[in-house]
Amino acid sequence: MTESGRSVSRRTLLRAAAGISAGAAGAALLTACGSDAKPVTASSASGTPRKGGRMRAAFIGGSNETGDVTKAANTPIDYVRARVVYDELCVVGPDGRTQMQLAESVEPNADGTAWTLRVRDGVHFTDGRRLTAADVLFTLRTYMDAKANQSPLLADIDLAGAQRKDDRTLLLPMKRPNGCLDLILTQGIFVIPDGTKDFTAVPGSGPYILTQHKVGQGALLKRNPDYWGPEGPYLDELELVSIADGTARLNALKAGQVDYAASISLVAGKAERANGKIQLITPPKWEWPNFGAMLKRSQAPFTDPRVAQALKYTVDRQQMVDRVTLGFGEVANDLFGKHLPFYADDLPQTRYDPDRAKQLLAQAGAGNLSLTIRTSDYEYGLTEGAVVLAEQAKKAGITINLDKVPAGDFFADPKVFIGAKFQSANRKPRPLPLDVLFFYGSDALLPFTGLAGPKVDDLVTKVRSAVTDEQRRSSLADIQQLLHEEGGDLVWAKAPVLAAASPRVQGVKSLGYPTFPSFKDAYLA
């Protein structure tokens, strides 16, 4: 069942060969248009937005697309559609801070035992109904009942005890102190009208109105003339095209069939850097996925903190940036949340030090350490990082074998995925307190690193109940210090999710999710 010891798989080689051949052919054919290399553009808009036109954007979709808004996480194209048809209460802005969308304010009481949520005035759904607090309560209940991905985040809200103070104000008591509701509401919860029964045809309040949708082909949306927002929508029409393969999406862009191609591989990004006809779009740095590996601290040999530390010293992070992120990324420091508010910037950067690693292993009585890392081609960077790690670890006297599982199996069985002792990781960033609640402590939903115990639980509780910025800062500083010293997360690099677009495309904002950005303010220059 394992492919132990094989450092480069046949599939990786084939994929690399395909990339090289496509890249080389592309370079040969495009010599005429590619002039000098130009810098990668950021996702923010520049200039004055222009009204009108139809933008065509290609995203990953397929036969498993769904119109059910509560299951929008099925495929990126579903999510992108939902993000323009509906609105969220809050979103995470480019600076990593919460921005209000349909919510006018979301305020906790002093100890996080209750929240007051006030919705914006003058917002209407496309069927003419006005947005009220009842819609928000219905939405939260729907997501809770649907057992959607968001439901564990909502579990602390005492929905049965919720009270409508007035038409626009909702009082939400908490089952236990939870100061994170403003962050939780940024996690893809789309507001739908009270009493909705058919979740596949729900009127939204968003900037665009769905006019046509065919599973596996795409969707056509038109501007919502009555949109409440101060900005946008600018386009007359937005067409979302479903193309599963990254190379095909890029080809469609280069041939002028679409204006925006989502999720372009780093390999393709490198090849297209000099192509003056397209712009590469990089999201804000905090949104860059974290590349690394996870060690289960509750299983031998990682129960000894020195073994976990030794592994951190065996990683040459700069080499990871150069070889795995192809120069697009940046060094990370075994913590999530870099560039987010309250990230512990002051902790020392773990350096590459194989001798120190050897020392630590000798002290722990774990010389000649041999490990097997579970990895997969499920996403770029998993296998690639594991291969480089295996090479680097040799210098510290550690043998790392690869257990490469089929892409479709990587997380298919939660027991295996969560229980793995040592595996590759590519973690999408989200607000820091939510990451802490998800991954650490005895209540953790996904205890990948198995870090638990009264000390950890105490720190996690403090993060959960922190309501002021100062409480968040101090609780997050404490837990990050612990994670940096004793945690089982090995985070060696962050690298962007790239998109490519025609230079005319402006105003596409990732707002927390670079694989399914918001087209709310998009326009064609």
Partner 1 sequence: MTATHPTATATATAGAGRWTLWRFVLRRLLSGALVLLAVSAIVFAATGAAAGDAASVSLGGEADPAAIAARRAELGLDRPALVRYGGWLLGVLHGDLGRSYVSGTPVADLLCARAGNSLVLAGVTVALLVPVSLGLGVWAGLRAGGLADRVVALVTLSLVSLPEFVTGTVLVLLLAVELDWLPAVSVLGPGQQLADRPQILVLPVVTLLVACVAHNARLVRAGVVAVSAGDAVATARLNGVPEHRVVLRYVLPAAIPPVIPLLARYLSLLVGGALVAETLFGYPGLASMLVQASAGRDVPTVQAAALTVAAVTVLVNLLGDLLGVLVDPLRRMPQ
Binding site for partner 1 (CB under 8 A): 18, 21-22, 25-26, 29-30, 58, 62-66, 68, 71, 73-74, 147-149, 151-152, 212-220, 239, 241-245, 247-249, 251-252, 254-257, 405, 407-414, 416-417, 438, 445-446
218 versus 517: smaller Cβ distance to partner 1: 218
Instruction: Provide the minimum distance between the beta carbon of 74 and partner 1 in the complex, in angstroms, as a whole number.
Output: 6
Contact 293, 422 (CB under 8 A): yes
Please, which residues bridge with residue 297 across strands?
A: none
Neighbours of 195 (CB within 10 A): 9
Angle subtended at Cα 150 by Cα 471 and Cα 217, rounded to the nearest 5 degrees = 135
For the chain, how many residues are written? 525
3-class secondary structure per residue, 51-95: CCCEEEEEECCCCCCCCCHHHHHHCHHHHHHHHHHCCECEEECCC
Nearest to partner 1 of 22, 274 (CB atom): 22
Burial class (CB in 10 A: 0-12, 13-18, 19+), 28: exposed
Chain CA centroid to CA 436, Å: 15
Least Å from the CB of residue 100 to partner 1: 26
DSSP β-ladder status, 290-295 and 422-427: antiparallel
Between residues 37 and 445, which has the closer beta carbon with respect to partner 1? Answer: 445
Taking the CA atoms of residue 286, residue 292, residue 296 and residue 297 in that order, the dihedral angle to the nearest 10 degrees is -70
Tell me how far, at minimum, the Cβ of 109 lies from partner 1, in Å. 27
Q: How far is the CB of 108 from partner 1 (least distance, A)?
A: 24
Closer of 171 and 244 to partner 1 (Cβ): 244
Residue 352 or 448 with smaller CB distance to partner 1: 448
Going by C-alpha positions, the residue among 283, 191, 197, 198 that lies closest to residue 228 is 191
Nearer to partner 1, 65 or 334 (CB): 65
Nearer to partner 1, 8 or 25 (CB): 25
At its nearest, how many Å lie between partner 1 and the CB of residue 54?
11
- 3-state SS string over 178-242? CCCHHHHCCCCCECCCCCCCCCCCCCCCCCEEEEEEECCCEEEEEECCCCCCCCCCCCCEEEEEE
Nearer to partner 1, 122 or 414 (CB): 414
Type of residue found at 18: A
Distance CA 472, CA 178 (A): 12
Q: Which CB, 257 or 372, lies closer to partner 1? A: 257
Nearer to partner 1, 49 or 152 (CB): 152
* Closest distance to partner 1 from the beta carbon of 143 (Å): 11
Amino acid letter for position 32: A
Q: Hey, which residues does 166 pair with through a beta bridge?
A: 169
Q: Provide, rounded to whole angstroms, the least separation between the CB of residue 395 and partner 1.
A: 31
Closest CB to partner 1 among 74 and 319? 74
Q: What residues are paired with 402 via a beta bridge?
A: 373
Distance CA 38, CA 97 (A): 30
Identify the CA nearest to 124 among candidates 233, 221, 206: 206
